[in-house]
Amino acid sequence: MQLIIQNLNKTYSNGVQALKDVNLTINQGMFGLLGPNGAGKSSLMRTIATLQEADSGSIQLGDIDVLTEKDEVRKILGYLPQEFGVYPKIDALTLLDHLAVLKGIRNKSERKGLVEALLHKTNLWQARTKNLGGFSGGMKQRFGIAQALIANPKLIIVDEPTAGLDPAERNRFLNLLSEIGENTIVILSTHIVEDVKELCTDMAIINKGQVLYKGSPMDAIADVEGKVWKKRITKPELEKYRKSFNIISERLIAGRPEITVLNEGQPDSSFDRTDADLEDVYFTHIFGNSKKEEVA
């Protein structure tokens, strides 16, 4: 099954164009959607999840027209939004059972087996009788995945799932997503580059509602390999270097700026070449496009 998005557009009532002619083909497996806050990622996810209308364009999930056959999409969709609410005074077992009923699973023994299997799969079995209000952030996210997996979905959407998780919970959650992605389409919408690098075989970078890159993370890194250069400078020099070089990122190390420059060859003898990574690709597309727009 494929998810095919063609010429998708969405403008909100305040005049903000959240999606601009978005075209993507997403296959089974883990697909990463990278972009800064406000890039249009959540708008795209909400449109795919049938929670808002598009102005124009099409979305096809297998034989289903997502924009017109919303009920059919919802039968095979699992969705974990960036923020989702739980009933804090209800335990995980009871709420998951209730959600399974709402998903149409009426047979009690079938539902019992499904709920127990999901709690084991998400490593929440030991906490099944604990009220959700006492869950940690990572446990709540894993409960969110459990509810998204009810009814064996063919498409799962997770929006910024690891934001706010500590490293151990993040690893547990990413391992769970990776396992799920073996048998279904999983769209991981995030601004955390490492999540996409570690999990996804295919990805897109989006900003200001437009797709800037589509391909595999490894191919993306290969495209900039040998073109990434770094240099430590002083703060007073920073503005001069911004004007003279294609700086894709800046960071302070021990109080001094380190700049990363994208260039075909060594900018000058004071720069050191460094191995490219996906963060360099991300900065190249996000900030490189911004600079091109400023020049235009």
Whether 294 shows a pLDDT value over 50: the answer reads no
Average pLDDT over residues 258-285: 94
CA dihedral over 190, 191, 196, 202, signed as positive or negative: positive
Q: State how far the Cα of 231 lies from the Cα of 70, in Å rounded to an integer.
A: 52
Q: What pLDDT was estimated at residue 179? A: 85
**Spacing of C-alpha 257 from chain mean position:** 29
pLDDT tens for residues 30-66?
999 999 988 999 999 999 999 999 999 999 999 999 9
Q: Where are the domains of the chain?
A: 3-215, 222-295
Q: State how far the Cα of 61 lies from the Cα of 229, in Å rounded to an integer.
A: 42
Q: State how far the Cα of 181 lies from the Cα of 175, in Å rounded to an integer.
A: 10
Phi, psi of 45, rounded to the nearest 5 degrees: -65, -40
Q: What pLDDT was estimated at residue 64? A: 96
Average pLDDT over residues 69-97: 89
pLDDT tens for residues 181-219?
888 999 999 888 988 988 899 999 999 999 999 999 999
- 295 membership: H or E segment, kind and range: helix 278-295
User: Please, are residues 135 and 127 in contact by the beta-carbon 8 Å criterion?
Assistant: yes
240-248 contact pairs (CB < 8 A, 24+): 246/288, 246/291, 247/287, 248/280, 248/283, 248/284, 248/287, 248/288
236 in helix, strand or coil?
A: helix
* Mean pLDDT estimate for the chain: 90
Whether 95 shows a pLDDT value over 60: the answer reads yes
The three-point CA angle 250-255-260 to 5° equals 20
- Of the pLDDT bands very low, low, confident and very high (cuts 50, 70, 90), residue 288 is low
Whether 123 shows a pLDDT value over 80: the answer reads yes
Give 120's Cβ-side CA count (13 Å radius).
Answer: 6
Q: State how far the Cα of 121 lies from the Cα of 143, in Å rounded to an integer.
A: 10
Average pLDDT over residues 263-285: 94
- Of the pLDDT bands very low, low, confident and very high (cuts 50, 70, 90), residue 296 is very low
- Of the pLDDT bands very low, low, confident and very high (cuts 50, 70, 90), residue 121 is confident
CATH of domain 3-215: 3.40.50.300
- Of the pLDDT bands very low, low, confident and very high (cuts 50, 70, 90), residue 291 is very low
Q: State how far the Cα of 68 lies from the Cα of 159, in Å rounded to an integer.
A: 23
Average pLDDT over residues 85-100: 91
Q: What percent of the chain has pLDDT over 70?
A: 97
User: Please, are residues 31 and 186 in contact by the beta-carbon 8 Å criterion?
Assistant: yes
Average pLDDT over residues 1-26: 96
Whether 293 shows a pLDDT value over 60: the answer reads no
How many helical (H) and strand (E) elements, i.e. helices and strands, does the chain have? 10, 14
